[in-house]
Structure formats: structure tokens, C-alpha cells
């Protein structure tokens, strides 16, 4: 088990609200976002390595016998080399406490990523130098813009052939209407990286020597400009010409415009070789915002030095096979979290006691007694909590609800072994609470054959893997021909189920009792609206919006 992250918490006496603002100022809570295969989990591991929270780094696509990244702990993640669930890594660096949230890159797991973005103050957007801006990156950036989350950009894989640096900056500005302001600049074309220039100290070049397998931080050496010019020749000259062009264009770092969402500081490097990662980590400390007042549902804000409040943004069961427990991940938004304290659950108005609270580092965990705004606390076996819940002390607080997306894939789930029906029901209920899939039921099919609704088909793979591995109940899935979901009312549900001419089905979502009308295509939706003009059909939030 890693131990470096245990030293994060301050000795500030619990309840000393005068110290809360100071503790909040030391926190940086950020997510790493990207399109699949851009190197997101590898960068997450490299950041933890440079902060000395771990002693060696794995890689998602490591060689045989090499361990995987700390943030990818599920067997499915290790086998496929992708992140399918978010993870939390908390560690100390330069006197600050960093809460790093690794997110799934695959579009099929958009809901998990969007929930994580509700819990962070900044995002590191990872771009593959060879592929440029990709579809999922665009979607995630739009969410950051909508939530007012400032974005730092890291252009990854500069040790491989790819697009030119100026070309990538033009693409960022054109696609995102965001001013790119380089903080580091590559010497050498992509695939032929000779070093990096820190734009704030341009009279030297940082040269890197890779360590075997990239398991340790690359050796970094500062080379004076005169020597770099002599040794690197045309590459050094071109890099400086490009920087001069950018300076003339006014592309200098401006923290105020970054925090306002008008510009993005840009860094170049190669996460798998740990090149350029230290400079990015320093930027998170120096540029990323500390926790601030958060908006409340219905208006107003909750200042960081107000009494305790927190947002549950994720629920996860069975992270550690030895424990088989359930953890609710809570972002502390204001005040001091104290283990053992009793807070109010906003959804029910009932008291909630926090007996078991952990600081989390990937799959590892350690007991935590106090936490401050920006910290992420794992509440163990908090079975009453759901994603989107608010806990608070003192004056009431309720944070805006988490989005639930319109599913586009549907399948009837049945236990492969009827003798495991109890485990089947328990597992399906747990996965629904975590938001792995949405679970729908109907009067005709009954609760013994729930319908699983997903944004993407890979969610079904997660269900089958986790049901077999964690709940000892293999699942058979029967795909249904529906592709569109609409919100409806009792009259609309009754009309759809009674109609003989329109293909579709009305179901109840277990999580919130909402009625959904399912259709195979937009033409059937139109037919229903013409046949039943008084029935309500409402749009649901689409994952691609």
C-alpha cells in the first residue's frame, strides 16, 4: 500500500472555522479529461510519481509482468487497458493537498465523467499530439465551459510523430474559441523531441533522459541557450522563432483570463516517459483555483468557511475484494468534515452519522479524521447515500442535482442461474445506485426481468463483469430494439402501452420513479405525438450535448 498520501491532513483543530479558508487555499481539486487512448491514466500516474506519492509508475499498456496504473483497479480496466470508472488520488505536493480525479475517457461512460466534473475546480485536458482534438475531448470541454471550470492543456505523446505545435494551437483556438497560451514549448518535431523550453525562462532548454520503461521520473537537466543552440542547431532556432511569433501575437500566460475561461495554459510532453510532467504539476499548484463558494440549488452560494457541507458525486462498491464494502465519495464544499460527526442529509432531512471515513488513493485507503473544502472523503458503507446527495451542518444547503442522460441502449437482464436470484437482485440494485446503468421496470415484465438502460454498450460489459465477479450471479442480456427515450406522464405511459399501432414501451426508472417512453426511432416518436397530442413527451439530456 502506498503511504506517501497519508500526510495530507492539517493539524488544524476541528471546528476552528477561522482556519478553514487557509486550509481551503492549500487545496487543488482537479480532473484529468481526454478522449480514449490519449494517455490519461498514464498521465495521472506520472503526476503522482512526480509528487512522490508513489515510488514507481505503471502503464496502461505495460509489458507482461508490469503492474497497471494505480487509478485503474478494476479487473476489466487492467484487462482492456482503459478506464471504465473514475478514481480518486489524494497526495501532498509543495505544501498543497492535491485531489486528483481520474475519469473514464470512453464516451460510453460519459455519466461518470460528468458527475466527477461536478466535484472539481479545474481540469487538465489531455490532447494526443498525433490525433489533435477528438470528439470526446470536445464534449468534455463543453461541459467544463458550461460549469465554469478553467482548463489547463497538456499536449501528450510528443515523443511520437504528430501534428506541429502551432497547428495544434490553431486548432484549440478555432474549435474551442479559447486562447492557447504556451507555458512550455517543444524543441524538435513530434517524434523527435530534443527538449522543452519553459517560456517563463527562455534562456535555457530542459533536456530529458528517459528511465527504463518510464517507471521513474525522467532525468531533467537545464542546458544554457548558447549550448542548446550549438547542439540542437535548426531545432533550437525553429523553436525560438515560433515562440517569437507567439509573443508578437500576445499569447502570453494570463492567469485572470485562464480563471475566466478565456484562455488555456498549454504544456507539451510525453506522459509515458514522464517528460514535462513536473512543469504541469507545478502549474496545477500555481495556476489552478483553490476551492471557492459553490452555487446552491435555487440560488445563492455556500462560502468555504460556512459550516460543513459536502456533495456525493460517486458511489462505488467492492473496490477492495477483501472488504466487499460500499463507498460514497463526498467532495467537501465548505467547513470542516469530522469523522464521527452527524450531519443532515438534504434529500430526507434526516441525520446521517459518519462513523467510517477514509482518504482514498486509487484502490488504497486510510482512515481520515478531518477534511477541508476540496478534499474527497470516502464514506464507507453509507448505504443511505445516493449520487447527488448533499450533506450539511448548520444552515440548510442543497447543491444542484447531477445530470441523468438519455439512454440509447436497452437490454432485459435475467439471472443465468435462478438459484442466484437474491444475488442478482442485490447486484442490479447496487449498480443502479452507483449509476453504472439505469434500471427500468414495467408492470408487464416485472422486477424479476429489469431493463438496463445505458448511454453506451460498454456499460453492459461492465454490468456482466461485475455481476459475475462481485455478486456471483452471471447475467443474460436480451437486447431490445429501442434507441430513443423520452420523459412522459401516466397518461402518456398508458397510451403507449395500450397502442397497437406504435412500437414502443413505457417503463419506470427505479432510481427516481420517473416514467420513460422508449421508441426504436424518431418516426415512431412522431407517430405517437400525432396519435396522442395530449400526452406529454419531454426531451432528456443527451450525452452528446
282 and 308 in a common domain? no
Per-residue pLDDT at 545 exceeds 60 = no
Q: Are 197 and 206 in contact (CB under 8 A)?
A: yes
Could you tell me if residue 500 is inside a domain? yes
Is residue 505 in a domain? Answer: yes
Point out the least confidently predicted range of 303-312, 446-455, 518-527.
446-455
- The whole-number average pLDDT for the span 136-162 is 90
227 and 105 in a common domain: yes
Give yes or no: residues 425 and 484 share one domain.
Answer: yes
Q: pLDDT digits over 212-261, tens only?
A: 666 677 789 999 999 999 999 999 999 999 999 999 988 899 999 999 99
211 is in an annotated binding site: no
Q: Is residue 15 part of a domain?
A: no
Q: Give the 3-state DSSP-derived string for 451-479, with helices as H, strands as E and coil as C.
A: EEEECCCHHHHHHHHHHHHHCCCCEEEEE
From the list 304, 317, 279, 276, the residue with the least C-alpha distance to 426 is: 317
pLDDT tens-digit readout, 368-420: 899 999 999 999 888 889 889 999 999 999 999 887 778 889 999 999 999 99
Is 1 within a domain?
Answer: no
Name the packing angle between helices 234-248 and 225-232 (round to 10°). Answer: 120
In a domain, 3, yes or no: no
Query: For position 519, which CATH number holds?
Result: 3.30.70.3280
Lowest mean pLDDT among 171-180, 238-247, 314-323, 508-517: 314-323
Domain hosting residue 514, numbered range: 409-538
Examine the domain organization and report whether 359 and 506 are in the same domain.
no
Determine the Cα–Cα distance for residues 171 and 449; give it in Å rounded to an integer.
Answer: 48
Tell me which of 392, 418, 440 is where a domain ends: 392
pLDDT at 446: 79
Q: Tell me if 106 is assigned to a ligand binding site.
A: yes
CA distance 302 to 320: 34
275 and 302 both lie in a single domain: no
Residue 313 CB neighbour total at 10 angstroms: 27
What percentage of the chain reaches a pLDDT higher than 90?
Answer: 56
Give the mean model confidence (pLDDT) for residues 132-137: 84
Question: Percentage of the chain with pLDDT > 70?
Answer: 86
User: Is the domain of 367 the same as that of 227?
Assistant: no
Residue of higher predicted confidence among 33 and 284: 284
Domain count, the chain: 3
Confidence of residue 491 (pLDDT cuts 50, 70, 90): very high
* Residue 541 pLDDT: 63
For residue 6, tell me if it sits in a domain. no
What's the confidence (pLDDT) of residue 362?
61
Amino acid 87: pLDDT: 72
Query: Which of 241, 271, 290 is the endpoint of a domain?
Result: 290
Let me know whether 416 and 384 are in one domain: no
Distance CA 466, CA 473 (A): 9
The pTM assigned to this predicted structure is 0.80
- Out of 123-137, 196-210, 317-331, 347-361, which region has the weakest mean confidence (pLDDT)? 317-331
Q: 58 and 147: one domain?
A: yes
Among 264, 290, 316, identify where a domain stops: 290
Sign of the Cα pseudo-torsion (269, 274, 275, 277, in order): positive
303 and 286 assigned to the same domain: no
Per the CB < 8 A criterion, the answer to whether 435 and 428 are in contact is no
Residue 362, domain CATH: 2.40.30.10
Q: Is 181 annotated as a binding residue?
A: no
Q: Domain check: are 300 and 279 in the same one?
A: no
Whether 367 maps to a domain, the answer reads yes
Q: Where residue 174 sits, what CATH number does that domain have?
A: 3.40.50.300
Could you tell me if 237 and 127 lie in one domain? yes
Residue 105 is assigned to a ligand binding site: yes
Specify whether 258 is located in the same domain as 356: no
Amino acid at each position: 500500500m502506498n503511504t506517501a498520501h497519508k500526510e495530507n491532513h492539517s493539524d488544524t483543530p476541528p471546528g476552528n472555522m477561522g482556519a478553514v479558508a487557509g486550509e481551503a487555499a492549500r487545496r487543488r481539486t482537479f480532473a484529468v479529461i481526454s478522449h480514449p487512448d490519449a494517455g490519461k491514466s498514464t498521465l495521472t500516474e506520472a503526476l503522482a510519481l512526480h509528487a512522490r506519492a508513489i515510488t514507481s509508475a505503471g502503464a496502461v499498456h505495460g509489458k507482461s509482468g508490469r503492474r497497471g496504473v494505480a487509478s485503474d483497479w478494476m479487473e476489466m480496466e487492467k484487462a482492456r487497458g482503459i478506464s471504465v470508472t473514475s478514481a480518486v488520488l489524494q497526495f501532498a505536493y509543495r505544501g498543497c493537498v492535491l485531489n486528483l480525479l481520474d475519469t473514464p475517457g470512453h464516451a460510453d461512460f460519459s455519466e461518470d465523467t460528468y458527475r466527477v466534473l461536478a466535484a472539481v475546480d479545474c481540469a487538465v485536458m489531455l490532447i494526443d499530439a498525433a490525433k489533435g482534438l477528438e470528439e470526446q475531448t470536445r464534449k468534455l470541454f463543453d461541459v467544463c465551459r458550461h460549469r465554469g471550470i478553467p482548463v489547463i492543456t497538456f499536449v501528450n505523446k510528443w515523443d511520437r510523430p504528430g501534428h506541429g505545435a502551432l497547428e495544434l494551437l490553431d486548432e484549440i483556438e478555432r474549435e474551442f474559441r479559447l486562447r492557447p497560451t504556451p507555458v512550455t514549448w517543444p524543441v524538435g518535431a513530434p517524434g523527435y523531441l530534443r527538449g522543452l523550453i519553459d517560456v517563463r525562462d527562455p534562456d535555457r532548454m530542459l533536456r530529458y533522459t528517459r528511465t527504463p520503461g518510464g517507471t521513474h521520473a525522467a532525468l531533467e537537466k537545464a542546458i544554457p541557450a548558447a549550448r542548446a543552440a550549438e547542439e540542437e542547431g535548426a531545432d533550437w532556432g525553429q523553436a525560438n522563432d515560433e515562440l517569437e511569433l507567439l509573443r508578437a501575437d500576445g499569447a502570453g500566460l494570463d492567469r485572470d483570463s485562464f480563471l475566466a475561461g478565456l484562455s488555456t495554459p498549454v504544456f507539451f510532453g510525453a506522459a509515458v516517459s514522464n517528460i514535462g510532467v513536473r512543469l504541469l504539476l507545478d502549474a496545477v499548484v500555481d495556476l489552478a483555483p483553490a476551492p471557492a463558494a459553490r452555487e446552491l440549488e435555487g440560488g445563492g452560494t455556500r462560502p468555504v468557511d460556512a459550516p460543513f457541507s459536502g456533495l456525493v458525486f460517486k458511489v462505488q462498491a467492492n473496490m477492495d475484494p477483501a472488504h466487499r464494502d460500499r463507498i460514497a465519495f463526498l467532495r467537501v464544499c465548505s467547513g470542516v468534515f469530522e469523522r464521527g460527526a452527524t450531519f443532515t442529509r438534504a434529500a430526507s432531512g434526516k441525520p446521517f452519522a459518519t462513523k467510517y471515513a477514509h482518504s482514498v488513493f486509487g484502490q488504497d485507503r486510510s482512515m481520515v479524521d478531518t477534511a477541508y473544502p476540496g478534499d474527497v472523503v470516502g464514506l464507507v458503507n453509507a448505504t443511505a447515500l445516493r449520487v447527488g446527495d448533499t450533506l450539511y451542518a448548520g444552515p440548510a444547503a442543497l447543491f444542484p442535482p447531477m445530470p441523468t442522460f438519455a439512454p440509447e441502449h436497452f437490454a432485459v437482464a435475467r439471472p443465468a442461474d435462478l438459484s442466484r436470484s437474491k444475488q442478482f437482485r442485490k447486484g442490479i440494485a447496487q449498480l443502479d445506485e452507483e449509476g453504472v446503468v439505469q434500471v427500468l421496470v414495467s408492470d408487464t415484465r416485472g422486477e424479476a426481468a429489469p431493463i438496463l438502460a445505458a448511454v453506451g454498450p460498454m456499460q453492459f460489459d461492465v454490468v456482466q463483469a461485475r455481476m459475475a465477479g462481485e455478486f456471483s450471479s452471471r447475467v443474460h442480456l436480451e437486447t431490445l430494439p429501442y434507441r430513443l427515450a423520452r420523459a412522459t406522464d401516466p397518461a402518456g405511459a398508458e397510451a403507449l402501452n395500450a397502442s397497437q399501432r406504435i412500437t414502443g414501451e413505457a417503463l419506470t426508472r427505479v432510481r427516481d420513479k420517473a416514467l420513460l417512453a422508449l421508441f426504436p426511432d424518431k418516426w415512431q416518436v412522431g407517430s405517437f405525438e400525432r396519435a396522442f397530442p395530449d400526452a406529454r413527451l419531454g426531451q432528456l439530456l443527451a450525452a452528446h450535448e
